[in-house]
Amino acid sequence: MSDQLMSNQQKYRPNVAIVLCNDRAQVLWARRVGHDGWQFPQGGVNQDESILDAVYREMEEELGLKPTHVELIAFTKDWLKYKIPRRYIRVRSGSAFKGQKQKWFMFKFIGDESDFCLDCSG
């Protein structure tokens, strides 16, 4: 997993992001709980998991969907990095991230609407 984790000098948090579309080419994005912003489902990559494991875990945590509910269409080959404005940087466990590096995944939803669980992470 050495490629997937940032070095201490880079300080970019590894993250996966999901674009989920249906057969009418509509995409899902959602309002963040407790925030005013909207975004595509996304989340961090744990140290002990692969990128693909992380994307499926995030999909289940945030949407309640399993791999059988989706079909992988495409993904970014390289990491896409961005810096977080200084005023939004949070210190976690003594290490502040200056930004995120993301890999984006596009999936086609092939399940049923009843497969979604939008409040499954508690």
pLDDT in tens, 65-93: 999 999 999 999 999 999 988 877 766 65
Query: pLDDT, tens digit, for every residue of 6-63?
Result: 454 468 999 999 999 999 999 999 888 788 889 999 999 999 999 999 999 999 999 9
Q: Where are the domains of the chain?
A: 12-110
Label residue 94 by pLDDT band (50, 70, 90): low
Burial class (CB in 10 A: 0-12, 13-18, 19+), 107: buried
- The residue behind tokens 């990559």 is 45
Output the pLDDT for position 95: 62
Output the pLDDT for position 9: 47
* Strand pairing report for 91-92 and 30-31: unpaired
Output the pLDDT for position 106: 99
Cα 30 from Cα 41, distance rounded (Å): 7
Q: Which residues contact 53 (CB under 8 A, 6 or more apart)?
A: none
What is the reported pTM? 0.82
Output the pLDDT for position 8: 45
**What CATH homologous superfamily does 12-110 map to?**
Nucleoside Triphosphate Pyrophosphohydrolase (3.90.79.10)
Cα 60 from Cα 65, distance rounded (Å): 5
Output the pLDDT for position 85: 86
Output the pLDDT for position 92: 62
